[in-house]
Structure 1
Amino acid sequence: MKRRLALLGLPLLAACASPTVEQYAAEKPALDLRQYFNGPMTAHGVFTDRNGVVKRRFVVKLMGTWKGDEGVLEEDFVYSDGAKERRVWRITHHGQGRYTGRADDVVGEAQGQAAGNALRWAYTLRLPVDGKTYDVQFDDWMWLVDERVMINKATMSKFGFRLGEVTLSFSKP
C-alpha cells in the first residue's frame, strides 16, 4: 500500500519541477542582452488570465542602448483598448550570463540569468488595476529563436497563486 501511494505521488512531484536556465546552455544562437536589446525593435503580445482567456493585446516599440555593461531599454506599450504605458529599464550585465535591472514600476531589482539561447528574469512589478496598485511577481522566460526573433513567456503570480501569463514575440528589423 505504501509503495502504491509513493508511486501515485511521483507525477505530482514531476509537475512541481520547473526548468532551469542551465538546461538551455547548449542551445544556439547564444543570447546576449547587450546585443539583442540594442537598437530598435517591436514586440507583439497578449495577456491571458489564469483560464487562458486573452484579456489584453498590445504592441511595444522598444529602443535599447548600451555603453559597455550598462544598458537602457525603453518600452512604449499601446494596448488594443488605446491605453498607453511606458517603462524604462536600466540593465546591468555582471558577467557569466547574470543581469540585474531596475525600472520605476519594478519593486527592488530584477534578477536575470542567461544560458545558451534562454534568459530567466524574475522581478516584482507594481501593477495598477482599477484604481488600485498590486505588487505582482513575474517569472519571465525569453528564448532567442534567431538573430531577429525572440519569444517571451512570463507567468504572473500573487502570494504564490498564478494570475495569468504574458506572451510576446520580439522582432528586430
Structure 2
Amino acid sequence: MKRRSLLAAAGAATLAGCATPDVADYASEKPQLDLRAYFNGHVDGWGIFTDRSGKVVKRFVVAIECRWAGNEGTLDEDFTYSDGTKQRRLWRVTKLEGGRYTGRADDVVGEAQGQARGNALRWNYTLALPVGERVWNVQMDDWMYLMTDTVMLNRTSMSKLGLHLGEVTLSFTKRT
C-alpha cells in the first residue's frame, strides 16, 4: 500500500511538472498590461534566439513603431540581426473584449490569438520561418510580462510537431 502511494505521488509530481502556466495565473499582477498603452509610440527591443540546448545562435535588436486607432493597432517591427541581416514584420492587431487580442502578419500562418490578464499576455501563432531553402511552419508560444510602465520582458518557446526547437528572449523599452 505504501509503495502504491509513493508511485501515485511520483506520477502526480511528474504530471504537474508538465503542466503549463495559464494567463489567468497573473490576473492580480501589477502593473496592468494594456497593449494599446504599451505598444503606442516607439518601443526598442534587444533579444536572443537560443537553440534547444540553450546555445545562443542569434542576437538581434528591434525598433517598433506602434499606432492605434481605437481597437485596431499596427506594430511595425524592424529587426537587425547580429549577422547583419535585416527583417521587417508588420503586425495588425485587434483588441477584443475580455483582454483578448488577435493579430496578423505576412509571415504568420492564419491568425495569432492572445489573452492578457494582469501584467501578462500569452500570444500563440504559427510562424512561417525560412530555414535554408525551405520554410518551416513553427508554433510560437509567446509570453510577455510588463515589469514597469516602460519595461516589458518577452519569452517565446518555438516548436514544430511538438518538438522544442528553441526560445526567443527579448527585453523591450518604451520611449517616453
Q: TM-score range by the shorter chain?
A: over 0.9
Identity of aligned residues (%): 60
Tell me which residue corresponds to 2:76: 74
Q: How does 1:36-115 map to 2 (within 5 A)?
A: 36-115=38-117
Structure 2 counterpart of 1:10:
12
Whole-angstrom CA distance in 1 between matches of 2:42 and 2:147: 18
Q: CA deviation at 1:7?
A: 1.9
Q: CA deviation digits over 1:21-66, x for unaligned, max 9?
A: 1111111110000110000110000000001100000000001000
Given candidates 158, 164, 167, the residue that maps to 1:165 is 167
Tell me the number of residue pairs that the alignment of Structure 1 and Structure 2 aligns: 173
Distance 2:150 2:9 in 1: 45
The equivalent of 1:140 in structure 2 is 142
Distance 1:4 1:26 in 2: 35
**TM-score of the superposed pair, with normalisation by structure 1:** 0.98
TM (normalized to structure 2)?
0.96
In 2, Cα distance between the equivalents of 1:8 and 1:68? 51
The CA deviation at 1:96 is 1.3
Unaligned runs of 5+ in 1: none
Query: Could you tell me how far 1:16 is from its partner in structure 2?
Result: 1.1
3-state SS of 2:96 partner? strand
Separation in structure 1 between the aligned mates of residue 143 and residue 117 of structure 2, nearest angstrom? 11
Counterpart position of 1:125: 127
Residue type at the aligned position of 2:114:
G
Describe the superposition over 1:129-170 as per-residue Cα deviations: whole angstroms up to 9, x where unpaired. 112100000000000000100000000000011100000000
Output the aligned Cα RMSD: 0.7
Runs (5+) with no aligned partner, structure 2: none
Q: Whole-Å Cα distance in 2 between the matches of residues 7 and 118 of structure 1? A: 31
